[in-house]
Amino acid sequence: MAHLSLFERRRRRVRTALKARSGGRPRLSVHRSGRHIYAQIIDDAAGKTLASASTLTKGSKSIGANIEAAAKVGADLAAAAKQAGVTAVVFDRGGFLFHGRVKALADAAREGGLEF
Protein backbone atom coordinates (compact mmCIF):
# COMPACT_ATOMS: atom_id res chain seq x y z
CA MET A 1 0.00 0.00 0.00
CA ALA A 2 2.91 2.35 0.62
CA HIS A 3 3.93 2.58 -3.03
CA LEU A 4 0.63 3.62 -4.57
CA SER A 5 0.52 6.68 -6.76
CA LEU A 6 -1.50 9.68 -5.68
CA PHE A 7 -3.99 8.89 -8.44
CA GLU A 8 -4.43 5.31 -7.24
CA ARG A 9 -4.86 6.44 -3.62
CA ARG A 10 -7.52 8.94 -4.66
CA ARG A 11 -9.23 6.30 -6.80
CA ARG A 12 -9.40 3.83 -3.91
CA ARG A 13 -10.61 6.49 -1.49
CA VAL A 14 -13.43 7.52 -3.85
CA ARG A 15 -14.45 3.90 -4.55
CA THR A 16 -14.49 3.00 -0.84
CA ALA A 17 -16.66 6.00 0.02
CA LEU A 18 -19.05 5.10 -2.81
CA LYS A 19 -19.50 1.53 -1.63
CA ALA A 20 -20.43 2.80 1.82
CA ARG A 21 -23.25 5.01 0.52
CA SER A 22 -24.32 3.37 -2.75
CA GLY A 23 -27.43 1.74 -1.32
CA GLY A 24 -27.47 -0.90 -4.05
CA ARG A 25 -27.54 1.60 -6.89
CA PRO A 26 -25.42 0.96 -9.98
CA ARG A 27 -22.15 2.86 -10.36
CA LEU A 28 -21.46 5.34 -13.16
CA SER A 29 -17.73 4.91 -13.72
CA VAL A 30 -15.70 7.43 -15.74
CA HIS A 31 -12.30 6.98 -17.33
CA ARG A 32 -10.51 9.83 -19.08
CA SER A 33 -7.48 9.50 -21.30
CA GLY A 34 -5.62 12.06 -23.35
CA ARG A 35 -7.60 11.22 -26.49
CA HIS A 36 -10.92 9.79 -25.29
CA ILE A 37 -13.42 9.64 -22.45
CA TYR A 38 -15.31 6.51 -21.46
CA ALA A 39 -18.28 6.00 -19.14
CA GLN A 40 -20.18 2.94 -18.10
CA ILE A 41 -22.92 2.03 -15.66
CA ILE A 42 -21.95 -1.06 -13.68
CA ASP A 43 -24.07 -3.28 -11.43
CA ASP A 44 -21.43 -4.33 -8.90
CA ALA A 45 -23.68 -6.94 -7.26
CA ALA A 46 -24.09 -8.85 -10.53
CA GLY A 47 -20.72 -7.79 -11.96
CA LYS A 48 -22.27 -6.62 -15.22
CA THR A 49 -22.13 -3.48 -17.32
CA LEU A 50 -25.67 -2.18 -17.88
CA ALA A 51 -24.88 0.69 -20.27
CA SER A 52 -21.81 2.33 -21.74
CA ALA A 53 -20.76 5.20 -23.97
CA SER A 54 -17.49 6.70 -25.11
CA THR A 55 -15.94 8.88 -27.78
CA LEU A 56 -15.15 5.62 -29.57
CA THR A 57 -18.76 4.47 -29.97
CA LYS A 58 -20.47 4.77 -33.34
CA GLY A 59 -21.65 8.24 -34.23
CA SER A 60 -19.19 10.06 -31.98
CA LYS A 61 -15.91 8.76 -33.36
CA SER A 62 -14.91 12.01 -35.05
CA ILE A 63 -15.15 14.04 -31.84
CA GLY A 64 -11.91 14.90 -30.06
CA ALA A 65 -11.22 14.70 -26.35
CA ASN A 66 -12.79 17.98 -25.31
CA ILE A 67 -15.62 19.23 -23.11
CA GLU A 68 -18.19 19.05 -25.94
CA ALA A 69 -17.25 15.41 -26.60
CA ALA A 70 -17.57 14.60 -22.90
CA ALA A 71 -21.01 16.22 -22.79
CA LYS A 72 -22.12 14.14 -25.79
CA VAL A 73 -20.87 10.97 -24.10
CA GLY A 74 -22.84 11.91 -20.95
CA ALA A 75 -26.02 12.45 -22.98
CA ASP A 76 -25.50 9.18 -24.89
CA LEU A 77 -24.94 7.32 -21.62
CA ALA A 78 -28.12 8.76 -20.09
CA ALA A 79 -30.10 7.59 -23.14
CA ALA A 80 -28.55 4.10 -22.94
CA ALA A 81 -29.28 3.95 -19.20
CA LYS A 82 -32.89 4.93 -19.78
CA GLN A 83 -33.17 2.09 -22.31
CA ALA A 84 -31.68 -0.32 -19.75
CA GLY A 85 -34.16 0.88 -17.11
CA VAL A 86 -31.63 2.66 -14.89
CA THR A 87 -32.63 6.02 -13.39
CA ALA A 88 -30.48 6.42 -10.24
CA VAL A 89 -26.72 5.82 -10.00
CA VAL A 90 -23.73 6.75 -7.86
CA PHE A 91 -21.04 8.75 -9.65
CA ASP A 92 -17.58 7.19 -9.59
CA ARG A 93 -15.06 9.72 -10.87
CA GLY A 94 -12.22 7.32 -10.16
CA GLY A 95 -9.05 9.21 -9.36
CA PHE A 96 -10.01 12.08 -11.65
CA LEU A 97 -10.93 15.48 -10.28
CA PHE A 98 -14.55 16.60 -10.73
CA HIS A 99 -13.59 19.31 -13.16
CA GLY A 100 -13.51 19.95 -16.91
CA ARG A 101 -14.42 16.90 -19.00
CA VAL A 102 -15.51 14.76 -16.05
CA LYS A 103 -17.85 17.51 -14.83
CA ALA A 104 -19.21 18.08 -18.35
CA LEU A 105 -20.02 14.37 -18.66
CA ALA A 106 -21.75 14.35 -15.26
CA ASP A 107 -23.81 17.47 -16.01
CA ALA A 108 -24.94 16.08 -19.38
CA ALA A 109 -25.89 12.75 -17.78
CA ARG A 110 -27.97 14.60 -15.16
CA GLU A 111 -29.71 16.62 -17.87
CA GLY A 112 -30.40 13.36 -19.70
CA GLY A 113 -32.37 12.04 -16.73
CA LEU A 114 -29.88 10.20 -14.52
CA GLU A 115 -30.10 11.00 -10.81
CA PHE A 116 -26.94 11.22 -8.68
Exposure of 89 in the CB half-sphere (CA atoms within 13 A)? 31
Task: Give residue 63's pLDDT.
Answer: 73
- E strands, the chain, are 27-32, 37-43, 48-54, 90-92
Per-residue pLDDT of the chain (116 residues; tens, 9 = 90+): 578 999 999 999 999 999 999 989 999 999 999 999 999 999 999 999 999 999 998 776 667 789 999 999 999 999 999 999 999 999 999 999 999 999 999 999 999 999 99
Please report the pLDDT score of residue 62 as a whole number.
63
Domains of the chain: 6-111 (3.30.420.100)
What's the length of the chain? 116
